[in-house]
């Protein structure tokens, strides 16, 4: 059995994944991470667990041979729960979820949980490993210090920078509730003192020819080029854009492969910019970033390749 950890609103990507496994007579189990609370019955001991989900389906850890950690959402709380008890509720269920996950740590995962958590939570480490792998990165500072940010702006940014949160606030790719990447210019610095309440990442603005969303999957590349060079963040284009297939240069593939292997990740959605200067700039990798639009619009078999990788590693005991 292959376990897929996802959330209750997820669709399309995982539907293709499940259909493909079913066509090969491989059993699977969908575990909605946001419902790992009072909706489910969960018991964990030192080396096993049993879980009955919100629909009454039961899974035993002994039956799980591989895990696709598709996407985890925060645990939902009951509306009737007293406000003072919510933190206790969330803490207790988060601990239960983590204990359950670690029972499975010695079987094949996409991606290994601890590797993914470390990389997803540390954009500066991402940039460090990208640079060490021969990729070009923008000058970067992650700070709440007004003076340091102002000095960085004047030294590296040539009068125009971008500022963004370490983590996006949106759960989907349609831009809803998304705090965008912001343009910072000289007059914007007058209000930069507010940064003390919300540290942000600052980089020089790159005059781009186009953006790339690259799905790396165990040495394979599925790359989409987007026609939105006028937007600072393609996720805010509200669907007013198109994708086309793109072939990366071999030296970029080599650098990305080296970086992903150093990170210990089998899959990642990588954002890069092709500058008008001809350079490829690495921005970030989201270990479980969105790629459904590439499969849907360009016909890339990403969901099937994820399943194939897990099945191969089960059979080779990797």
Q: Mind listing the pLDDT tens digit for each residue in 63-85? A: 999 999 999 899 999 988 998 89
Give the domain ranges of the chain.
Answer: 2-107, 118-299
Q: What is the mean pLDDT of residues 118-122?
A: 95
End-to-end CA distance of the chain: 16
Architecture of the domain defined by 118-299? 2-Layer Sandwich (3.30)
Q: What is the mean pLDDT of residues 121-134?
A: 97
* 139 contact partners, CB below 8 Å, separation of at least 6: 152, 156, 203, 204
Task: Report residue 307's pLDDT band, with 50, 70 and 90 as the boundaries.
Answer: very high
Residue 170 scores a pLDDT above 90: no
Q: What is the pLDDT of residue 174?
A: 43
CB 287 within 8 A of CB 265: yes
Q: What is the pLDDT of residue 76?
A: 94
Please state at what angle helix 302-315 crosses helix 13-23, rounded to 10 degrees.
50
The strand pairing partners of 244, in sequence order, are 225
Q: What is the pLDDT of residue 177?
A: 47
Specify the range with the lowest mean pLDDT, choosing from 156-160, 191-195, 300-304. Answer: 191-195
Neighbouring C-beta atoms of residue 264, cutoff 10 Å: 13
Q: What is the pLDDT of residue 171?
A: 45
CB 289 within 8 A of CB 269: yes
Q: Mind listing the pLDDT tens digit for each residue in 16-27? A: 999 999 999 999
């Amino acid at each position: 059995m292959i376990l897929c950890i996802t959330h209750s609103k997820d669709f399309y990507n995982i539907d293709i994944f499940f259909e493909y496994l079913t066509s090969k007579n491989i059993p699977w189990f969908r575990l909605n991470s946001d419902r790992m609370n009072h909706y489910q019955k969960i018991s964990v001991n030192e080396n096993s667990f049993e879980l009955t989900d919100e629909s009454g389906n039961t899974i035993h850890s002994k039956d799980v041979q591989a895990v696709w950690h598709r996407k985890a959402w925060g645990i939902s709380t009951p509306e009737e729960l007293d406000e003072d008890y919510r933190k206790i509720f969330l803490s207790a269920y988060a601990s239960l979820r983590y204990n359950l996950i670690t029972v499975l740590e010695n079987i094949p995962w996409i991606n290994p949980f601890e590797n993914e958590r470390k990389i997803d939570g540390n954009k500066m480490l991402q940039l460090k490993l990208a640079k060490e792998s021969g990729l070009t990165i923008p000058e970067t500072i992650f700070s709440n210090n007004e003076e340091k940010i102002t000095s960085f702006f004047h030294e590296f940014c040539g009068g125009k920078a971008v500022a963004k949160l370490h983590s996006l606030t949106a759960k989907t790719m349609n831009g809803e509730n998304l705090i965008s990447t912001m343009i910072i210019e000289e007059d914007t610095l007058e209000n930069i003192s507010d940064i003390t309440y919300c540290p942000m990442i600052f980089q020089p603005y790159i005059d781009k020819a186009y953006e790339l969303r690259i799905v790396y999957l165990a040495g394979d590349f599925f790359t989409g080029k987007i026609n939105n060079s006028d937007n600072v963040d393609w996720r805010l284009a509200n669907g007013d854009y198109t994708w086309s297939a793109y072939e990366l240069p071999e030296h970029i593939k080599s650098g990305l492969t080296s970086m992903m292997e150093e990170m210990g990740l089998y899959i990642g959605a990588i954002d890069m910019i092709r500058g008008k200067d001809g350079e490829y700039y690495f921005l970030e990798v989201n270990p479980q970033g969105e790629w459904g639009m590439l499969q849907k619009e360009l016909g890339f078999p990403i969901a099937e390749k994820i399943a194939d990788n897990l099945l191969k590693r089960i059979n080779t005991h990797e």
